[in-house]
Amino acid sequence: MPVPKHIFAPPFNIIRSSHVTLGITDLGRSRAFYEGALGLQVEDATGDALYLRGLEERQHHSLVLHRSAVPSVRHLGFKVASEEDLDRAAHHFKTLGTEHAFVEAPFQGRTLRALDPCGLPLELYFRMEQRPSLLRQYGRYRGVQPQRLDHFNVFAPEVQRSVDFYASLGFRLTEYAEEDGADGRIAAAWMHRKGNVHDIAFTNGPGPRLHHLAYWAPTALNIIHLCDVMASTGYLANMERGPGRHGISNAFFLYVRCPDGHRTEIYTSDYQTMDTDHEPLRWSLRDPRRQTLWGQPAPRSWFEEGSLFDGVALRDALFKADVLVAS
Ligand SMILES: [Fe+2]
């Protein structure tokens, strides 16, 4: 694959992944899962939406659960560095010819929604209402003690095209998996703006679909504690994969599914990537250590199931990646 060259002066400045809005069929049932089991803080509840955040976050929300007839994902949120960056972003999407519009979004300032060239719905903003961080409010710690939203992972039908587009916006490739051989195609890529392994990752497959959102937990012990909590509060079947450690990103992980099937990764212990001479790490697609350095192999559901984006047509992947799947 062509590894993209890093662009240090992108057309507008995204600083990090910020929030995601999920379509949820039963808000009460999902509140019990995200607040009661995982330990996210409910910051606001309206008639048709719940706004949640992690303990460290000062922004009003990093997860919005929106009442919906069917499970879906509305958009992936990214924070930009200034109001001017929103105008630069609108100009850039206009130049690209992709759908975009400024919209009203509760608890946020000017908000730009746009489709990326591969059909991924994005929401960009600079200002969001602020709340005091709960980082030192240990009496509020519950569940896995989620600190902050860390990243998104999406199924992408054209991974190389997604990588090239996000590289053009200044996202840096940290790790990638590709086929062996001179003409090996890229099957997965991890890209960041904020200085750790990723803000967004792309996995080859029918898409666009959300594979997972991820919250950062303080330690691996918090993740093991969450396994005990879920196993004893009726959520055993919602634990899909893990705990274990990925080779890619070095993360200690657990994947859980909410009652509507949306997947959340609980994630900790990756590494810094902000050095300007940091080079991407290549993994062979046939190397099982990339998915699982240790732990049980990923089940078939983990490879095949994901959440659809509202109103976005599903496309087949350009090719079928030859990955190892547990039966
Ligand atoms: Fe992840």
Distance from residue 54's CA to the centre of ligand 1 (Å): 17
- Helix, strand, or coil here: 88? helix
- Helix, strand, or coil here: 161? helix
Task: With a cut of 70, list the residues of the chain below it in pLDDT.
Answer: 1, 324-327
Distance from residue 30's CA to the centre of ligand 1 (Å): 21
Strand ranges for the chain from DSSP E: 14-24, 41-45, 49-53, 63-67, 72-80, 100-103, 111-115, 121-125, 148-156, 172-178, 186-192, 200-204, 209-216, 239-245, 252-257, 263-268, 281-284, 307-308
Tokens 């909410």 map to which residue? 258
Q: How many CA atoms lie within 13 A of 126 on its CB side?
A: 13
Distance from residue 70's CA to the centre of ligand 1 (Å): 24
CA distances from 301 to 206, 234, 240, 325 (A): 14, 20, 8, 10
Rounded to whole angstroms, how far apart are CA atoms 28 and 5?
46
pLDDT at res. 326: 55
In degrees to the nearest 10, what's the CA dihedral of 258, 296, 150, 29? 10
pLDDT at res. 242: 95
CA proximity to 309, closest of 94, 155, 78: 155
How far is residue 111 CA from its own chain's centroid? 19
Q: Tell me the per-residue pLDDT of 198-218, one tens digit each, with 9 for 90 and over.
A: 999 999 999 999 999 999 999
Distance from residue 287's CA to the centre of ligand 1 (Å): 18
Distance from residue 125's CA to the centre of ligand 1 (Å): 23
pLDDT at res. 321: 82
Rounded to whole angstroms, how far apart are CA atoms 172 and 199?
10
Distance from residue 91's CA to the centre of ligand 1 (Å): 31
Q: Tell me the per-residue pLDDT of 274-295, one tens digit each, with 9 for 90 and over.
A: 999 999 999 999 988 888 899 9
Distance from residue 264's CA to the centre of ligand 1 (Å): 8
pLDDT at res. 322: 76
Distance from residue 326's CA to the centre of ligand 1 (Å): 19
CB atoms within 10 A of CB 44: 16
pLDDT at res. 13: 98
- CB crowding 102-132: b at 16 or more within 10 Å, else e: eeebebbebbbbbbbebbbbbbbbbebeebe
Distance from residue 95's CA to the centre of ligand 1 (Å): 31
Distance from residue 267's CA to the centre of ligand 1 (Å): 7
Distance from residue 190's CA to the centre of ligand 1 (Å): 9
Rounded to whole angstroms, how far apart are CA atoms 63 and 298?
26
Distance from residue 162's CA to the centre of ligand 1 (Å): 17
Distance from residue 220's CA to the centre of ligand 1 (Å): 15
pLDDT at res. 320: 86
Q: Determine which helix (DSSP H) or strand (DSSP E) holds 166, and give its type and residue range.
A: helix 159-168
Distance from residue 323's CA to the centre of ligand 1 (Å): 17
Tokens 């039908």 map to which residue? 157
Q: How many CA atoms lie within 13 A of 8 on its CB side?
A: 4
pLDDT at res. 324: 61
| Prior bond of 206 cis (ω within 30°) | no
- Helix, strand, or coil here: 159? helix
pLDDT at res. 327: 44
CB atoms within 10 A of CB 235: 21
Cα 292-296-300 angle, rounded to 5 deg: 90
